[in-house]
Structure formats: structure tokens, C-alpha cells
Amino acid sequence: MLKDFSVQSLFMGLLTAFVGFASSFAVVLHGLLAVGATDSEAASGLMALSVAMGVCGIILSAVTRQPISVAWSTPGAALLASTGAIEGGFPAAVGAFILCGVLIIIAGLFRPLGRAVASIPAPLANAMLSGVLIGLCFAPVKAVAFNPLLGLPIVLAWIVVGAFKRLWAVPAALLAFALVLAFGVDIQPGALASLEQSLVPPVEIVNPVFSFAGFVSIALPLFIVTMASQNIPGIAVLKVNAYHPKPGGLFAATGLFSVLAAPFGGHAVNLAAITAAMCAGQDAHADPSRRYWAALVSGIAYVVLGLLAGAVTAFVALAPPVLIQAVAGLALVGAFSGSAMAAFQAPESREAAAITFLVTASGVSFAGISGAFWGLIAGGLMLALSRFVAMAKR
């Protein structure tokens, strides 16, 4: 293995980890807090996810000798933010995280379930995802309205840097957030002392509570979003770059590490999609057989970043929540625009996609079950009805 190591892969692996962590950790924190986690539980969840995806990526890349990048489920975290707290609080959410991981394992080992997820109409899956994301995408506007002197620099940094290099847009917004926090927010003297104490890796074990509402409101939508928006596209990215691993084993591995991370507050890990292209592309190395080192290095870096999750969370907590929500919203603009375009592209499924989007985006729960599930059901029924009517007219 050591003979395949290269400085090029080292730098690309470090860049991948930085971009993957910096561009979406705010979404993860916001999602965990939204379903009832305390600050310490959210920090523990962030740590568990980062370590889990790092170790999982290292193992998969070392065994397959392919650049298998693993990430946390960013769309899943956005789903949590839109779902909010459920009956049973954060323990019930943790129980749902475990069930989601089990479903991912089954999808990897039991092919019919994997095929069933893949057979969900793409317009409906994308409409549900865009409905989940839109609430957070409003956050940058709300931040500017809250305080233009604090919110506007974050948005402008994202716009200006993104115009030149889209990859660096969110890290630039995060840097602007740090500068705003340092120079624009009144920080209590005692807060800095607590920040130093938070350098110790946070570990909070949550006893899971399993409930039907948790399964339907969180576990099932989280499973669908993670599979449809992360795992399946992750395999596609690898295939585009001429890598052909067996998907089932990779899915099962990410599901296993999701289950292991859940008691510590982590919601789900999965195959990376965007950052996967960084490790699997030519920038990682000219020789495809040596690119797996980029994924190995990124995995090691994720573990290190995870151990610093307590300090990251404590730093973020010093600012008004709307500011870090603005960073999270900016990180999801690209995902929202892509999913919305895919949802409404086909004329024959446009109305069904619209219903899915509207019910999901409403955030309204029925019978204790979140809008994401009902959006998918409503859109599916509309699509089935329109197809039935079309067949009857023939």
C-alpha cells in the first residue's frame, strides 16, 4: 500500500475532508438540535458521525483499493431540521437513527429492498428532498433581516467567492461567520473559558427509545433520503470514474457504522457524492489505481476533525442561531436547486411532484408523523391516479 502513496493524493484527501466537514457541519448541528439534542449531545453526534465516516472510509478504501469516500447524510440532517422534535424527544430520534441504519444494512444485503428504494419515482424523491431543504434555504434571508451587519457579510462572502470558485463558497461563508462572531458579536468573558474546556472530545451516550412515530417520521424518510440522495448517486460517481465496486457491501457497511454512531447522537453516514468526485477524479492522481490514498487520507482527517467537534460546537454556540443557520442554508442552495429542477423536469409527473413538494415543505405533521412521509404518500397517490386516468383514456 505505501508504494501507492503520493503527495498529490495527500493534498486532495486533506482538501476533501476540509470541504466535506466545513461545508455541512452546520447543517448537521442544526438538524440534531432541531430534534431535541442538547448542545453537548449535538457535539457528541457530530463527533460520532465524523469518526464513523472516517473509519468506514478508511476500511472500505483499504479493502477495495478504490477511492470509497464516506460522508454524513447532509440531506438527512436537513430532514431532521424540517421535522423538529417528536414525541419522546431526542431518545426517540436516536431510536429512529438506529432503525434507519438497520434499513440501510438490509437494503445492502437484501437486494429487493434496495431495488424498491431505487424504484421510487425520481421526481417524487427529488420533490421531497427539495421540500425538506427549502426551509433552511430561507435562513440566509432571515439572517440579513435579523441584523444586516451580521448576516450580510456571510451572504456576500458566499456570493463573491462562489462566482470565482464554487467549491470554496461555503468555506468562505464559514470564514465570514467566524469573523462576524469575532468582531461583531458581544462574547461573554466566561464563554471563552468554556471554549477551551471543550477541546476534550465530547461523548454523550443516549439510551434509544423506539416508537412507531419515530420510525415513520424520521427513520423511514431518513432512509429514503439517504439512499436516494447519497448512496445511489455515490455509486454513480464511482462508476463515472471507472470504479465498479459491489454496491450491496458498501451500503451495508455504511448502515453498520450508522448504527454504531447512533447511540452517541449521530443520524446516518453514507457514500459521499460530491466529495467522492474529488477523491475519484484525476486531480487525486493520474493513476486510477493509486487514488484510493486520497480517500484514506480524508478518512484520517475526518477522525481528527471529529475529535475537535466539541470545540467547533462551542464556538458556533457563541453566535445567534440564525447566523449558523444562514451558513447551513447557503450550503444547501446547490442541493435545493438541483433537486427542484429534477423534480419538475418531466411534464407528466409535475403535478405529483408539486404536491409532494408542498406537503413536505409545509412542515405540518399528521398523527404525529412528519410532512416528508405524507408528502411522498400524497405525491405517489397523485402520480398513480394520473397514470390510471391516462391509461383509461387510451
Asked whether the beta carbons of 168 and 175 are under 8 A apart, the reply is no
**Residue 377 domain-assigned?**
no
Instruction: Give the structural domain span for 85.
Output: 2-334
Asked whether the beta carbons of 10 and 293 are under 8 A apart, the reply is yes
Average pLDDT value for residue range 99-106: 95
Q: Look at residues 84, 74, 85 and name the one whose alpha carbon lies nearest to residue 133.
A: 74
pLDDT at 196 over 80: no
**Residue 352 domain-assigned?**
no
Q: How confident is residue 85, by pLDDT bands cut at 50, 70 and 90?
A: confident
**Residue 282 domain-assigned?**
yes
Q: How confident is residue 160, by pLDDT bands cut at 50, 70 and 90?
A: very high
**Residue 393 domain-assigned?**
no
Rounded to an integer, what distance in angstroms lies between the CA atom of residue 80 and that of residue 41? 15
**Residue 204 domain-assigned?**
yes
**Residue 237 domain-assigned?**
yes
Rounded to an integer, what distance in angstroms lies between the CA atom of residue 129 and that of residue 310? 29
Distance (Å) of CA 33 to CA 85, 108, 135, 257, 348: 9, 29, 15, 21, 39
**Where is mean pLDDT largest: 124-133, 228-237, 360-369, 376-385?**
376-385
**Residue 211 domain-assigned?**
yes
Longest dimension (CA), the chain: 74
319 phi/psi in degrees, rounded to 5: -100, 160
Grid look-up 470554496 returns: 168
pLDDT at 71: 93
The H or E element containing residue 28 is: helix 25-34
- CA–chain centroid gap for 338, Å, is 15
Domain tally for the chain? Answer: 1
Asked whether the beta carbons of 239 and 68 are under 8 A apart, the reply is no
pLDDT at 242 over 60: yes
The CA-CA-CA angle for residues 193, 199, 205, to 5°, reads 115
Beta strands in 13-104 (DSSP E): 70-72
93 phi/psi in degrees, rounded to 5: -65, -40
